[in-house]
A and B are shown apart, each in its own frame.
Chain A
Amino acid sequence: MTERVSYEQLLGISGCLALALLAHLATLPLWVLAIVMGCGLIRIGLARTGRGPPPQSVLLTVAALAVPLLFIRFHTFNGLVAGTALLAIAAGLKLLETKSHRDIYIIVLIVYFVSLAALLGGESFWLLAYLIAVCWLTTATLLRVTSSGPAPGWQGSLRYGGRILAQALPLTLVFWLLFPRFAAPLWQVPNDSQTAASGLSDSMSPGDITQLALSDEIAFRVRFASAAPPGQERYWRGPVLDSFDGHTWTRSTRGLAGSAPLRQQGRAYRYTVMMEPHQHRWIFMLDWPTGWDLPHAELSADYTLMQPDILSRPLDVTGTSYTQVQSAEPLTQNMRKRDTQLPLKRNPRTASLALQLRSAHPGDMDYVRAVLDMFAQQPFFYTLTPPKLSDNSVDEFLFDTKRGFCGHYASAFTALMRAAGIPARVVTGYQGGTRNPYGDYWIVRQSDAHAWTEVWIEPQGWVRMDPTAAISPQRIERGPGEVLGADDPLASRWQRKSPWFAGARLRADVLREVWRERILDFDQESQHKLLELLRIPEPDGQKLVMVLAGAMALVLGWLTWQVRRELSPQPRDVTTRTYARLCAKLAAAGVPRHPHEGAEAYAMRVALKRPELGTRVTALCRHYSSLRYAPPTAGITLGQFQAAVRVFRPQFKR
């Protein structure tokens, strides 16, 4: 226990600690990591020159500095981050004073604990894989420290450590499946206010969506119950923007709750949206959502599905949508007023253009078509790098620059509608998505972000109009990456050039998806279903704990049996097995054999104790002796011995 540590062992354990703390890189204050790293480097440096740990006073100084600093920073030692920071500093100090193997054992325990703590802060598959690797390495390091002989090669240690971890797997599985689960999580994954909201927001200025289009981040995934709708119908509805100040569209739905009923037409699509946390309340549903399985979510007046709380955890929603609907009720006066408002004295050229077109096309639908024709016939360009626009953004876009992304077109189109007195609004969301061929689901990335317009046309109601489709129909059918030229930033991304990389990325995404669906989403309900399958009706905590205790006892029993077997190997060949049977019979008859007793000596003892068995036992033991120790040609055969043992039935007697 008091053996001194070697340089190599110190290096190994320091590496493990560093790797475990790496998982906390985002949460721990940097100075904490710096202190731990400094401690490690000092100790390694000392060990390199063959010296022991620094004097106690150094340790005390570091501790006296670091611990108050921690308290000043967090005002507590409780809580995930503060606790982990304290633990990390403790590990660093321990590393600094490490001199015997016992110190290393303590650091190993801290490494395991710190790894576990990292899982309280996040639940991604890759994090778990990384932490398992760290634990594996740590176990191998521990094995190297504890091995009594000369340290084996790293490869051997890793293999042995892996075997130990693998042996823990069955019990892990049983506990994961059967450990009593609670409807509400025991702890909330910290909802850090620093986590920036991602994806679409509830306002849109020209250029906003352009920023999104550069991001490869995944917004959500969708699995359709049956066939997916065609590309030009895959519009994922997000926040609806109705208020315009000439430059920026914002959402102003306060006081407008409850959605007007819709008449569904065509076929229904059933699907599950797997949302990534985006720190907003809305959930992207296929246009137009009619059903969902979230008890607390509801549709806003604009038919956007809203959660009561912001989304800080991944969330699965199963919903139904119809791509063709009709409004069942006329537009309310409030809504009509809201959706025809335009800022005064802004974009005057647009207003006059609208008046001019409106006088030529008095019918609403005719007017809409005329505007779309204008977009299609005039030299408008679809580009990711449009010129910057100032306050009168619509005027500048329509008459000067004529270059823009979907946001520009939706904004200009909606403004033109409103200027003509037709109710219209900007809908943001996503359009399209990529199908993952390896997992049969769709991935919708931030680069699929889109903006379009909804126009109220009597008698049909709200009709989706996508001016971008008029400029660049391919964008709607194939996605932005296909449409943009080679000099656009989106197209020049290196990963798009390599089909191998794209394939590997999709495969990895499948793995992540399986992880989420099968592992993370295994909740109380899934557990109940499993238990019903296992014929454990009405499971409660007590029953589950009993099952778990049983599993634990089973594993411990198995381990004990294994160790016993390793200590006293069981006979392998038939002769010894038959002899073992004979001994077992005699033991049952009251004369057990001592392990160190030879067969013939045993027979003599049996003959002394049970004279009536003497002759037969002596003969049998003599047979065994010659079978096992004499040259193979001698006398009796194994078959005869087996037969003789089989018919030998001594009676029990005290």
Chain B
Amino acid sequence: MEYLLLQMLNGVQLGLLMFLLAAGLTLTFGIMDLVNLAHGSLYMMGAYIAWTLIGWTDSFVLGALLALPATFLLGIVVEAIVMRRLYARDHLDQVLATFGLILFFNELVRVIWGPAGKSIAVPAFLNRTVEILPGVPYPAYRFAIIVVGALVAVLLAWLVARTRIGMLIRAGASNRRMIGALGVNIELLFTLVFGLGAVFAGLAGLMAAPITSVKIGMGDDILILAFVIIVIGGIGSIKGAFVAAMVVGQIDIVGRAFLPDLLKTFLSASAAASASPAISQVLIYVVMAGVLVWRPTGLFGQRS
């Protein structure tokens, strides 16, 4: 029972990380109609920039806090140079150009930081366990990810639902031309939204770094999961992205934690060990296919 609870918490933690990534993706798609495959590169850059800054400042918190404006800046530069030209293009051009950006960023990282992976140590004050229930310890760092992720999710919900900028974002998602005609500076809004997405991606990358290690291409696989999430949730819907991220997080963890034991009852131990991550991944895609067959625009997507 305790094991189940801990694994479910791990699922929540993974889900929140993926939500941070998916939120930026779903915003850029919902508002700018942009398919950004290079979103995973921003996740990777966030982790690498944080690695450098943590080295300079000798403090995890300070380095991480400095890395956020840096990824915001990076996002704005990428938006100004490339993305801005892609908004009006069809999806194929966007796929092609952002695929090129992935190659560019992966190679850029190799030039700047070298081919070997880096590791970020868990900060000392979080390198312990907390008792989430009496007698049930849980790693403090993972708990901190859950707290930060949940805070950001709430902040985002507040930003979108309650503030003026959120109102413009929602208006932009339903009719871009109209809010432009009403005198809103759309270009500035787009740049801001893209930068915001970059910050969330960078935050997810640097928070994941102590758990997964910082390496080239780290954003590519998780990016595909993030796309699966926004497609399940319905593109453009923050709520949908959150629900789908939680579901995908749980499926992934269940696959990793429980399938090996289950499979061992009828497979050899090594076959079970190599088959279960595959099965949990397959399960995620089966869920996605099922949702799309049932609702071709996702759980919370707009019906056209």
Q: Do A and B come from one complex?
A: no
